[in-house]
Amino acid sequence: MERKDSAARTIVNRATSNAQLLHMSRREVLVRGSAALLVTAVPFSVTSQTLHPSAGRSHHSGDMKMSSIMTKDGVSIFYKDWGSGQPIVFSHGWPLSSDDWDTQMMFFLSRGYRVIAHDRRGHGRSSQVAEGHDMDHYADDLLAVTEHLNLKDAIHIGHSTGGGEIARYIGRHGESRVAKAVLISSVPPLMLKTPANPGGLPKEVFDGFQSQVANDRAQFYVDLPSGPFYGYNRPGAKKSEGVVQNWWRQGMMGGVKAHYDGIVAFSQTDFTPDLKKFTVPTLVMHGDDDQVVPYADAGPLTAKIVRGAIFKTYKGFPHGMPTTEAATINADLLEFIKS
């Protein structure tokens, strides 16, 4: 009887031990499998750059890359660099990111151009630093990207604040790497109303922007694209909820301090001295129903300052016309680039 009990206990113990081994084995498989799945789910370019931060960043190989550089003052600037051929560099508007150029980047990529766009400091996926949100730093960051990628004979295209960024970039760093420039619905020469610029907007307008950003930017970033930015407040306008939500997404990705300070940068900077330094072929594009950067005090004045500039007025087009009127804008950009 004791032998039977002992044999029974041995069988039970072995079964328990096997069950524990089986359980542990399954757990190990799950852990190892999850780890393997995680590694394979992360793009190789990301894992390789994490292990070797300098890998794949100094030379362009014609693939679709998204990476970042570190500026001299320690700010990480995110950028996209896709394709090959003559480079086209896009500078986005406030408070958005390089994603705002999706339509243009896909359009020109498919036509054999190399397309580059970065997130301005404090915006998108770049560092949310507290300082340096002024046009000089924006221009220096753009220079850092162009030097890092060794861009030459580049076409620079800027929308809204991005147009100011390009103006200050040329004014501050020259045109040695620039072939052509395009300013779309851009803030130059000066948005603020001053004795020398009586057609500008009163400072109280921009103070109101800052108040809304500081106190409830989430709602402000719904109201602005839902109304004046894309002209969706005009009679008969067909509002796209996707466009509005994408604007909100980009805005909320950035830092509130950068957006707050950026309002001063784009509204109070006088770009007149920068525009006078332009010698490359330049296209100025502005919609006459722009409710964000009013037409009369922007596009026409910029075109008069820039020597030999081509000026195009778009009847009824809103501030965000690169998105809502992409087919027209892209076709005109391509014509200018090829000319």
pLDDT digits (tens, 9 = 90+) for 267-292: 999 999 999 999 999 999 999 999 99
Task: Please tell me the predicted confidence (pLDDT) of residue 46.
Answer: 34
Given 81, 119, 140, 290, the catalytic residue:
290
Q: Give me the residue label for tokens 């001053």.
A: 194
Instruction: Look at strands 114-118 and 154-159 and give their pairing.
Output: unpaired
- Ramachandran angles phi, psi of 17, nearest 5°: -60, -45
pLDDT digits (tens, 9 = 90+) for 93-113: 999 999 999 999 999 999 999
Sorted by sequence, the CB contacts under 8 Å of residue 12 that are 6+ apart come out as: none
pLDDT digits (tens, 9 = 90+) for 288-327: 999 999 999 999 999 999 999 999 999 999 999 999 999 9
Residue 185 is a catalytic residue: no
Residue 160 is a catalytic residue: yes
pTM of the full structure: 0.82
Residue type, 334: L
The residue that leads in pLDDT, 19 or 322, is: 322
Given 160, 186, 226, 267, the catalytic residue:
160
Q: Report the length, in residues, of the chain.
A: 339
Residue 288 is a catalytic residue: no
Give the pLDDT mean for 2-11: 44
- 19, 126, 235, 258 from 96: Cα distances, Å: 56, 12, 26, 11
Task: Please tell me the predicted confidence (pLDDT) of residue 114.
Answer: 98
**Distance separating alpha carbons of residues 238 and 211, to the nearest angstrom:** 29
